[in-house]
Structure 1
């Protein structure tokens, strides 16, 4: 693809929070001639984007991609409360259909969205991990296992289609003001139950991730690229930014049993918040517990060398996607005083309730 030639782009998953950002960037880019958006959800309403609504499994993809130069694969069938094998199977099928259609239509470049979670969270992980690190997704995390399998499948497909440039992005946990995904919520909840252990963590603003996708579309990049801010922060710092007053230390086996039991209860409780863990956080996905206990931070030097530069630090990204409670603006001493007062008040209230109940029994 000539550097000066105008290109046509298809974005699969155009109505997701990331897809909308990517779509806006691409329709405004001087090298992009046209952008087609594919998704199940309502039209994102982006001026200049041609939108096609429908299930990837049912659309005539080969026809839709006939004049497309670059395919951006942002589709993920994984929903917030569906980290399961059946959903992962559907996600893999969507990827297979997109790749087969891209090959038949003559697409010249494929941008695949993966995750840094494919490296796994292990005690012996180097800090940071590079693109040369071995992929060791945790078996209990179907999301990470599924993404690693997608990468393998896409790699095999690219070998059979040497005329296609494959670019794979492995971002760390990403979030934005209007979107805090299930990965982020689970990691935050798990960290709150991790006692005083400090684990290095990273958070990526979705605007920076969209900029990385844009660079992969219009540039000449090929291969795998980690996407993360420079450096990292501790899990304790992240919780302080969230305004937490205390942390729990729950044994991993007990926590795993508790979260597995909760997860089997399904999405009804998650929507009502009946089993939330304070401050709006839900109990973590069982498959993500170890990702909050061991490091999996990544270095994005390779992407930086290609011209990408994040605008947000991990702290800024975390704060932008986290609505801190009113006490989050107070200093740590004041928050501890409030927490102590709440504990004492709760204890007195419980004692008063027991006494009142006892009096009723005596009167009877």
Structure 2
């Protein structure tokens, strides 16, 4: 009997992983989450605990693998305190794994750790250098957690699978990362139309199970075959207000919208909407994994129709341009007001 412990078991991916593991008679599952209800499977033991103060060594004892999906942050909402808490929880997990000699760990990262750069290959393989855009804290944090897990696995008898998924979505739900990227592409947006990838949460859960099955030691990109070209994405998204501006101006306006709570678009995410960062899945496919959903299918099931789609094409274009112009004007006005405020503050300080 194989014993697998899953943290973050009540999350969108965690629930799917539990469901798949529970269907295997040779696997006993321990599902851990702060808010986890009892799982309706006889092979699953549910533990409603907080990783911050639980006896993790006792929970992990006898496990053949631990799948660590619990997280305290989401893309676009990272602050230093949350980042330190997330790292501290991973340290607690790693210490407990060491204490009871768990041989294998699966951790969730992101394809965003490769960074969005003009010179990125298309697609990016696992052998590419890791260089997240330095002012997108969430991607930098993913890389930090990767390194902690990889350092733990350096000891003899240990292995770790680091999963780097593309933007993950599920039925009628974009998720925070997908929402952030979509908002950054709307309104006043930077020049650039890179290809994109969307991964269904079911396929990510299958990748987790594959990593547990084969005890893969290393990095695995997780994405459907290929990607969505810019023209196809435009057709899928339909009419959206968008006014193109240089990247540096888009970052300034993004920072203003982020500061005032007008949009979930931290300025560091702008390069991810202008430069390519799609990934190859050959290594994972070689292990027997295949995506049940294409990029386009994952996009479609996760999006609700936009209200503008019911309007005539000409009217949609007029509204989109009007909204985009209004957004640009408001951004310029905001920038002017901030500059004036700073000048008044400096004069007052000198006086």
Q: TM-score, normalised by structure 2?
A: 0.85
Query: CA offsets, 1:28-83, max 9 Å, x none?
Result: 12331x11111122426443322212221100000111121110011111135522
Answering whether residue 6 of structure 2 is matched by residue 11 of structure 1, we say yes
1:89 lines up with 2:84 in the alignment: yes
Rounded to whole Å, the distance in 2 between the matches of 1:123 and 1:343 is: 28
| Distance apart, 1:219 and its partner CA | 2.1
Tell me the SS of whatever aligns to 1:47: coil
In the alignment, structure 1 residue 288 sits paired with structure 2 residue 236: no
Where do residues 317-336 of structure 1 align in structure 2 (5 Å cutoff)?
A: 317-328=298-309, 334-336=312-314
* 2:248 pairs with 1:253: yes
CA distance in 2 between counterparts of 1:207 and 1:298 reads 18
1:185 alignment partner in structure 2: 179
In structure 2, stretches of 5+ residues that fail to align are: 323-351
What residue is the counterpart of 1:67 in the other structure? 62
Tell me if the contact between 2:242 and 2:320 (Cα under 8 Å) persists in the aligned partners. Answer: no
Measure, in 2, the Cα distance between the counterparts of 1:195 and 1:234.
17
Question: Which structure: larger Rg?
Answer: 1
Asked if 1:240 corresponds to 2:235, the answer is yes
Counterpart-to-counterpart distance in 2, 1:132 and 1:303: 13
1:77-99 deviation per Cα after TM superposition (whole angstroms, max 9, x unaligned): 11355222221111111111111
Give the direction of change, closer, same or farther, for the CA distance of 1:216–1:329 in structure 2 (3 Å limit): farther
**1:38 has 2:32 as partner:** yes
Alignment check: 8 A CA contact 2:190 2:250 kept: no
Would you say 1:57 and 2:52 are equivalent positions? yes
Q: CA deviation at 1:103?
A: 1.3
Aligned length, in residue pairs: 321
Q: What are the residue-to-residue correspondences of 1:118-129 with 2, within 5 Å? A: 118-129=113-124
Structure 1: gaps of 5 or more residues: 1-5, 270-274, 276-281, 345-364
Correspondence list, 1:153-302, <5 A:
153-160=148-155, 162-192=156-186, 193-194=188-189, 197-265=192-260, 269=261, 275=262, 282-302=263-283
SS of alignment partner, residue 57 of structure 1: coil
Tell me which stretches of 4 or more aligned residues in structure 1 moved more than 6 Å.
341-344
Q: Which residue of 2 aligns with 1:29?
A: 24
